[in-house]
Amino acid sequence: MKEKINVTDYANLITKALPKGILLNTSADKFNSMVIGWGHIGTLWGRPTFHVYVRQGRFTKGQLDKAGEFSISIPLENPDPTINKICGWETGFNIDRVKEAGLELEESEIIKTPGVKQYPLTIECKVLYSQDQDLSKIPVDIKEKTYPQDVPGTYPMANRDFHTMYVGEIVDAYIIK
Ligand SMILES: Cc1cc2nc3c(=O)[nH]c(=O)nc-3n(C[C@H](O)[C@H](O)[C@H](O)COP(=O)(O)O)c2cc1C
């Protein structure tokens, strides 16, 4: 069962949950959940939106470009350490996250990408816009720390790859009960 919500009522919870890790789910070659710590809800061109930032080398990047949609799954309390480890430190190029992290999937209402029952606050999005970061416009101290040019793009944390911002138009939001 799903309880429909006005997602802006949960802006505070989402903002607090983000640095601890929420899930960006995609489904193209296969279903895959990746932990993200950067993102925000907002409004763009008068539409309700969720913005995410994905490095070039992530498996998720190709999935997003192919599928043009994603779902976001947010825990109502603390994140699950196993989910955070498997979905934040391994890569969908190498493993099946559903199997390895024991993810239980919930069919979505509008899009094809499911949500994850363990993280019940679910936001369904269709990609409205995407934009590659311009490294020349990022402050030098942040660039050195966040984009170390001697770290290959395959490393799961900070590496040489810049991010692409994907703006998803929110098409549904609910809590899986
Ligand atoms: C707490 C936390 C937050 C993260 N935030 C992001 C993020 O916002 N963007 C990103 O590209 N990678 C982020 N990562 C790294 C990815 O989750 C990680 O590299 C993952 O293995 C990529 O999966 P994929 O290759 O299957 O897409 C984060 C990892 C953790 C643990």
Instruction: Please report, in tens digits, the pLDDT of each residue of the chain (177 residues total).
Output: 999 999 999 999 999 999 999 999 999 999 999 999 999 999 999 999 999 999 999 999 999 999 999 999 999 999 999 999 999 999 999 999 999 999 999 999 999 999 999 999 999 999 999 999 998 999 999 999 999 999 999 999 999 999 999 999 999 999 999
Alpha helices by DSSP H, 22-151: 59-67, 81-89, 97-101, 140-146
Atom of ligand 1 nearest to the CA of 54: 11
User: Which residue segments constitute the domains of the chain, with CATH numbers given?
Assistant: 2-176 (2.30.110.10)
Residue 115: strand, helix, or coil: strand
Q: pTM to 2 decimals?
A: 0.98
**Which residues contact ligand 1 via a Cβ below 6 A?**
21, 32, 34-38, 53-55, 58-60, 84, 88-93, 156
The residue nearest atom 1 of ligand 1, judged by CA position, is: 21
Longest dimension (CA), the chain: 48
Q: What whole-number distance in Å separates Cα of residue 50 and Cα of residue 111?
A: 15
Report the candidate in 163, 151, 31 with the shortest Cα–Cα distance to residue 99. Answer: 31
